Amino acid sequence: MDRTAGQKRAAAAFLYPPLDPFDQRVLDVGDGHRIYVEQCGARDGLPVVVLHGGPGGGCSPAMRRYFDPTVYRIILFDQRGCGRSRPHASVEANTTWHLVADIELIRESLGIPRWIVFGGSWGATLALLYAQAHPDRVAHLVLRGVFLMTRAELDWFYGGGAGRFWPDLWARFVSLIPEDERHDLIGAYHRRLFSGDTVEETRHARAWAAWENALAAIEHEGPVGEAPGDYARAFARLENHYFTHAGFLHRDDQIIADLPRIAEIPGTIVQGRYDMICPPAAAWHLAQNWPRADLKLVGMAGHALSEPGITAELVRSMNLLRHKGPALGI
């Protein structure tokens, strides 16, 4: 979720030129869900699948531009319930394990034996869980803004930790909730995001999205503008749904506990040192327990994909992988 126009211009200096998909399709993944999938770049290139954040954020044309289009076969898709996938904003049959299965179905439907998996924030969470479920299908992981879906991380962002740095914005976020419910903001917002009243849902969805949007970039210039109602409602409902259920993980430290499953997979971790949404402690913890991970802490950078330092490091990392297809087994 990108911030200011100035940041976008600065980040764009590192990106490849805009490009259009050579393939767009809607994939029926079952349970009444149809997900949007696109392919860009080189038809026979090194395959890389891009996992967007949120949950519920959707992919964007800018995400195509982190990869050399003469080398990479770039696959983007909107996860269940968001972006161009349908039904919009639906949380029915929408769990982490449904998404992991969807990624594998996309790979199979495109005839790709192995691929690079590229994901940021929630996309990094999903990338790790997918790799742990299907380690033989992942050649390399490229992660940004690591989120391990632990209670400590949720408490940081929705329990007042980040609010100590942004008390004015925190006050705005909690103001919609009665004081006697503020001990559990995820639960309080859940009741309102799923009230059945579209006006109430959209109002609270915009507040939910605004809190996250405002903290994503290091160059904060005050509250961001309101997100479009349809986008905010899908984003907030899906994200809150996943957080209410602790990401549908079996245990709080599941990703770290299951790292032996991906011990042989190389990984690149790009992390903003001043990330207020996903503090760098999680990326550090991940790297310390994953022997083949290379952690790159980016100074003067926050969480957003559009942060110039983050963009530059991600593009550089993907450029370094351009000629490693044989070594990666793809």
Mean pLDDT of 225-248: 93
Do residues 107 and 49 make contact, with C-beta atoms less than 8 angstroms apart? yes
Cα(186)–Cα(135) distance, integer angstroms:
33
Mean pLDDT of 52-71: 97
Range(s) within the chain of domains with CATH label 3.40.50.1820 = 5-150+248-328
pTM: 0.95
Do residues 269 and 295 make contact, with C-beta atoms less than 8 angstroms apart? yes
Q: What is the pLDDT of residues 94-130, one digit of tens each?
A: 999 999 999 999 999 999 999 999 999 999 999 999 9
Q: Which of 90, 121, 306, 317 is catalytic?
A: 121
Enclosing H/E stretch for 243 = helix 229-244
Asked if 197 is an active-site residue, the reply is: no
* Residues 125, 130, 132: CA angle, nearest 5 degrees: 95
Q: Which of 33, 52, 140, 303 is catalytic?
A: 303
Residue 5 pLDDT exceeds 60 = no
Give the pLDDT score at 56: 96
Asked if 303 is an active-site residue, the reply is: yes
Cα(139)–Cα(153) distance, integer angstroms:
28
Give the pLDDT score at 226: 75
Peptide bond into 87 cis (omega under 30): yes
CATH T-level fold of 5-150+248-328: Rossmann fold (3.40.50)
Give the CB-side neighbour count of residue 261, counting CA atoms within 13 A: 16
Mean pLDDT of 74-102: 98
Q: What is the pLDDT of residues 143-163, one digit of tens each?
A: 999 999 999 999 999 999 999
Asked if 275 is an active-site residue, the reply is: yes
Q: Which of 78, 90, 134, 275 is catalytic?
A: 275
Q: What is the pLDDT of residues 264-296, one digit of tens each?
A: 999 999 999 999 999 999 999 999 999 999 999
Mean pLDDT of 291-317: 97
